[in-house]
Amino acid sequence: MTALYRQYRPQDFDEVVGQEAVVRTLKNAISAGRVRQAYLFAGPRGTGKTSLARILAKALNCAQGPTPTPDKVCHACQAIAGGTSLDVVEMDAASQRGIDDIREIRERVILQPVEGRYKVYILDEAHQLTDAAFNALLKLIEEPPPHLVFVFCTTDLSKMLPTVRSRCQTFVFARPRLSELVRLLRRVADGEKIDAPDAALSLIARSARGSFRDAVSTLDQLSAATESEVTVQAVLQLLGAVEEEALFRLCDLIVDRDSAGALMFVEQLSEQGQDLGRLVTDLLEHLRALLLVQHMGEVPETLPVTEETRDRLRAQANQLPEAAVLRLCDLLAVAVDDMRQGGDPRLPLELALVKVTRPGTDLSGESISYRLELLEQRGQQHQPPEQTAAETPATTAHEPALDPPSLELEQLQDAWQRSVIPAVQQRSIPTASLYGEARPSALAENRLTLEFPSNAVFHRQKAEEAKHASLLADALYEVTGRRLALDFATGDNGGDHEAGAEEPTTEDELISLLKDELDAHELEES
């Protein structure tokens, strides 16, 4: 049996879907007798480039033509549709890409068409021709015989040589809209007597990602697997896709900050056989849609979603903070990288859900930025309308208007060397070297106690100076979102100093220590 995508490929200009501008231009050129000798069709796979090239060949060689409405019944049209025409030569540039293949074309083009008016060469995946092959074609493209027409089809326009592009009339094929794909699938389903609800066809169209051929091929496969009774569940099972309802529910759990519920839901999907890698990619696509709605104020027409889904996207985009969407996208990108390296996406997915629903558990720089952004957004929502930025009290310049993030001593101890000291280092390397020996030993309300080793009395005294303490306080606020008062103590905290090391007792020893530890330099008297 003939594959459905071949059986239902368009046979004339009126059957072409989604490429109205290309069709209109070609039909006008044929009607006006202004056909070019070389065309370049560029666009994603499955968007109809080769099919439109064949229709152009029919229009030129039809017994009634040249005409923008080939009759499809004459011998020339039938032969072109069946791939047996001697006047239409299709070449796969992926396999026939060398200069010898092009020399063969140059030797044959001098021959007149067998039965039509034009000899049409269609080169698929033309960007894979070698540079030598392209150069051999240049003269032929620029000054071809009057009966010769070239149609180059490519999925990568950037790889076409500029010298070739300048000699061709270029058409860029757009991805079809979801409604256009669904309309085509409905025509195929009705023609083949396939029982398929609109919801199932929408899922197939969404998974095709703008490819007519992929959409029809998927419907063909489903028809064979289900004995022409295609259901939504059958589509999800074949594609491994995630149902839209699951994506909306997962984001609703994020809105509610329900970490346990999100983890349990992932567990349920896994037990149902859901591909968690596909869940990650589909969730990213869903978050992208929410981000577009938040920034554009509406659902773009280009999004492949139904009208019902558009309404739900608008509602959820208003509930989920923009900062949460951005943060989750960053975290899920880690899972995508792991998958590319053959890793299991489950743990990165679960970590991402926990970090975005319980941001207080993560003291990384990105998490702190996310938490502060959430506070700013909440503050803007609670700010009286009549209060402007200029009227904001000065006391809020450094502190958030709402309750600061929660902070535990263990969290701060874990983040000390990983996040706090690097934040101090960005402000002052000598100051960072002072606090590198200390460790947080107590946290009560907003007061932090730092403990230095017993043999680092000098460093503790320097650390207490206001110029150093203020830099540390700023760094702590950057990492934790909390303004902390500082106390300093001396004890045995496992510092790096060797046991028995003595503090400097002479002026020379003190100067030497300052040079070594703080990168100090002596000033020469003028």
Domains in the chain with CATH codes: 4-172 (3.40.50.300), 178-239 (1.10.8.60), 244-375 (1.20.272.10), 409-494 (3.30.300.180)
Neighbours of 161 (CB within 10 A): 15
Measured CA angle at 91 (ends 86, 97), to 5 deg: 140
pLDDT value at residue 501: 46
Residues facing 488 on adjacent strands: 450
Written as tens digits, the pLDDT of the chain (526 aa) is 678 888 888 888 988 888 889 999 999 999 998 889 899 999 888 888 999 999 999 999 998 878 999 988 899 899 998 888 888 888 887 776 667 777 777 777 777 888 888 889 898 888 888 888 888 788 788 888 888 899 999 988 888 888 888 888 999 988 888 888 888 899 899 888 988 888 888 888 888 878 888 889 989 888 888 888 888 888 877 877 777 888 889 899 888 888 888 899 989 888 887 888 888 888 888 888 888 888 888 877 767 666 777 888 888 888 888 888 888 888 888 888 877 877 788 888 888 888 888 776 555 555 555 555 555 555 555 455 544 444 444 333 343 344 556 677 887 787 788 788 888 888 888 888 888 888 888 888 788 888 888 877 787 888 888 888 888 888 888 777 778 888 888 876 544 444 444 555 566 666 776 666 666 667 765 5
Residue labelled with tokens 């056909």 = 35
Q: Which two tokens stand for residue 46?
A: 């499955």
E strand segments, 155-308: 169-172
Q: Phi, psi at residue 40, to the nearest 5°? A: -125, 115
Cβ burial of 46 (10 Å; 0-12, 13-18, 19+) is buried
- The pLDDT score that the predictor gives to residue 494 is 44
Residue 221, classified by CB atoms within 10 Å of its CB into exposed (0-12), middle (13-18) or buried (19+), is middle
Q: Are 175 and 206 in contact (CB under 8 A)?
A: no
> What's the Cα-to-Cα distance from 371 to each of 329, 334, 382, 483, rounded to whole Å?
15, 20, 17, 15
C-alpha distances (whole Å) from 350 to each of 227, 328, 411 are: 38, 11, 20
For residue 339, the number of C-alpha atoms closer than 13 Å in the C-beta half-sphere is: 17
- Residue 402 pLDDT: 46
Q: Write the CA distances from 419 to 89, 112, 219, 320, integer angstroms.
A: 65, 76, 52, 28
